[in-house]
Amino acid sequence: MSNQALIPGWEVVIGLEVHAELATVTKMFSSALNQFGGKPNTNIDPVSLGLPGSLPVLNEKAVELAIRVGLALDCVIQRSVFARKNYFYPDMPKDFQISQYDLPINGEGSLELPDGRRIGIERAHLEEDTGKSTHVGGGGRIHEAGHSLIDYNRAGVPLIEIVSAPDMRGAEEARAYVSELRAILVAIGASDGKMEEGSMRVDCNVSVRRDGTTELGTRCEVKNINSLRSMGRAIEYEARRQVDLIESGERVEQQTRHWNEDDGRTHKLRSKEEAYDYRYFPEPDLVPVEPSDEWIAEIRAALPMLPRERRRRLADAAGVEPSATALTVERGMDDLAVDTIAAGADAARVLVHVENNLADGVGELTAASFAALVAMETGGDLTATQAKTVLADLAASGGDPAAHAADHGFEAMDTSELEALVDRLIAEHPEVWAGFVGGDDKERRKKAGFFVGQVMRATQGNADGRIVNELLARRATEQGA
């Protein structure tokens, strides 16, 4: 991963708070449906509207999903207590949010990035979502709107808030963290992780410090980030803003800031002094959650394989570093890759095909046909280019790779034919050949590329590039080079 300094002489320190909606059937504290995209105010009941006299009843499935998250992030699963976070907002029905404060269900843990780096997790707690306001008139801004409409379908949807340690050092790493977290949440069925639908939301805590210092700078929290791309932009903007402040002799004030996608800047929402006093206290309408060891063990046993485990499994099978398998796992093709390698296929070729030639999905491709194809390729029956074509056929319609190859008229070119062609090209391009024979490694690769290109052009790609290279090397040796 590239962690090159964004601003020379400065280190950017990032901690993320990720809210993910849990994939339950019903809401956190009532039997109203947890469903995205319904007609406004249809998935509601007295509890989600906070009607007087209504009481919350905890959804056990939400607790189970939270525990799955905790287990996947190696968190300490602990006795937890719900607390009320008090503040007035029209889309929050009770004017307090039921959250967890000093006793979250998941304590410290960590998340392993594909490159092996670990990001600390401070906590992952349960809380309820708010409704959604739409401000009508005045360009959709609350202060200028003529009136506001509120949809309470989302109110009371269960959320898990995952708070990282300030362990990330750049926008790229933050993106990798969020991608990995999303992959984990999806893999364990805890959330659909859709940022575009708002079921996964990220707030960034950004601070800067001079290279070589260890003390944390004053941080700002950036909200309203709706995609991975805007997260990267927001972090970069915010870091530069803070560095500019310090370099011009000013101080960074602790603030909550709002990312504006249109102008590409963060804007002050409120300072630390203006921050809400949430007056947290234990939620008297709920009892503490004390998951038994048996239940936790049951949930752990049922946990599907995590992305990091998938990377390791494929890396072991392919004899490469786990980071080299990230893309394959991200695309969900690692099962196929592992099975194909297990069926005897050359691991390097399998990974190359999965990463480069299966962007549209595996389709009808099976491990057996994939392995047969790779065997044909490594056995010299198909060139790399031919193999790619046959692979596309297998993905599109399944079947036998040999049959597809025959349909295309792919046949391994006779080596003597190829030898004649190579000799002719050497004769036609003596100065290039001289460069090949007499050049250093770099020069030699360049000239070889020329000859391979010529061969491919002459054979419409039906030659095997590896064999051409071997022939060139043999001729050079024969000439005593």
Binding site for other proteins (CB under 8 A): 46, 49-58, 84, 86, 88, 90, 93-96, 142-143, 148, 150, 277, 279-281, 284-287
Tokens, residue 153: 């379908």
**Closer Cβ to other proteins, 82 or 410, answer by number:** 82
Rounded CA separation 14/205 (Å): 6
CA distance 63 to 190: 10
Q: Where are the alpha helices (DSSP H) in 302-383?
A: 307-318, 326-330, 334-342, 347-357, 367-378
C-alpha span between 297 and 291 (Å, rounded) = 10
Residue placing its CB nearer to other proteins in the complex, 84 or 353: 84
User: Judged by CB, which is closer to other proteins: 54, or 224?
Assistant: 54
**Quick check: 287 and 251 in contact, CB under 8 A?**
no
The residue written with tokens 């599907």 in the block is: 304
Which of 281, 256, 260 minimizes the C-alpha distance to 269?
A: 256
CA distance 77 to 292: 10
Least distance from other proteins to the Cβ atom of residue 45, Å: 9
Q: How far is the CB of 125 from other proteins (least distance, A)?
A: 18
In whole angstroms, the minimum distance from the beta carbon of 138 to other proteins comes to 12
Q: How far is the CB of 58 from other proteins (least distance, A)?
A: 7
**Sole residue written with tokens 């210092």:** 213
Q: What is the CA radius of gyration of the chain?
A: 29
Encoded tokens for 444: 């030699």
Report the C-alpha gap between 177 and 168 in whole angstroms: 8
**Cβ 156 to other proteins shortest distance, Å:** 13
Q: Could you tell me the sign of the dihedral formed by the alpha carbons of 123, 330, 237, 13, in that order?
A: positive
What does the chain come to in residues? 481
Distance CA 224, CA 141 (A): 13
CB of 285 to other proteins, least distance (A): 5
Q: Is the dihedral of CA 65, 66, 67, 73 positive or negative?
A: positive
Q: Which is nearer to other proteins, 51 or 302 (CB)?
A: 51
- Quick one: tokens of 242? 């803070």
**Shortest distance, CB of residue 253 to other proteins, whole angstroms?**
19
**Shortest gap between Cβ of 31 and other proteins (angstroms)?**
10
Nearer to other proteins, 31 or 479 (CB): 31
Q: Which is nearer to other proteins, 126 or 326 (CB)?
A: 126
Is the CB of residue 169 less than 8 Å from the CB of residue 11? yes
Query: Are 408 and 386 spatial neighbours (Cβ–Cβ below 8 Å)?
Result: yes
Q: What is the separation of C-alpha 361 from the centre of its chain, rounded to a whole number of angstroms? A: 18
Contacts of 402 (CB under 8 A, 6+ apart): 372, 376
CB of 59 or CB of 386, closer to other proteins: 59
Which C-beta is closer to other proteins: that of 149 or that of 434?
A: 149
Kindly state the smallest distance separating residue 290's Cβ from other proteins, in Å: 13
What's the closest the beta carbon of residue 61 comes to other proteins, in angstroms?
15
Nearer to other proteins, 49 or 341 (CB): 49
Find the shortest distance in angstroms from Cβ 29 to other proteins: 9
45 vs 419, beta carbon nearer other proteins? 45
* DSSP state letter for 26: B
**Cα gap 458→452, rounded to integer Å:** 10
143 or 442: CB nearest other proteins: 143
131-137: list long-range contacts, CB under 8 Å, 24+ apart: 131/91, 131/92, 131/93, 131/155, 132/91, 133/90, 133/91
- CB closer to other proteins out of 148 and 179: 148
Which residue in this structure is represented by tokens 């590896």? 466
Residue 315 and residue 322 in contact, taking contact as beta carbons nearer than 8 Å: yes
d(CA 309, CA 326): 11
CB of 163 to other proteins, least distance (A): 20
